Amino acid sequence: QVQLVESGGGSVQAGGSLRLSCAVSRATVSNYCMGWFRQAPGKEREGVATINSDGITNYANSVKGRFTTSRDKDKATLYLQMDSLISGDSALYYCAARSEVGSCRKERSISTWGQGTQVTVSS
């Protein structure tokens, strides 16, 4: 069973940057489609960014050009670099993985979730 542990959340002013990390255990990070989702208070969880086993990335329109996801196989870690943050990015961010072949852009495709890390952007 894959295990995911996020870190790197915190509070930042608008325009600032944060980098989230997701430590992956009991799996090889590059073998899975993995991604980041977020959920703000009173809103549904939404997909932010994914990277599949071929290294192809996909981003929500709201974060394109500002967020970058990457992975380090040797460190068994998935990253989300978030730049030019805005208040609308404030949410609980989850690392996620799909254990089967295929896209992981939809919440229903996810088989493993991390516990979440809070990001708060003040304007």
Q: Please report the pLDDT score of residue 81 as a whole number.
A: 98
Question: Which residue is associated with the tokens 């992956």?
Answer: 24
Q: How far is CA 101 from the centre of its chain?
A: 19
On the question of pLDDT at 1 being above 90, the answer is no
* pLDDT tens digits, 6-27: 999 999 999 999 999 999 998 8
Q: Give pLDDT tens digits for 43-60.
A: 999 999 999 999 999 999
pLDDT of 75 reads: 94
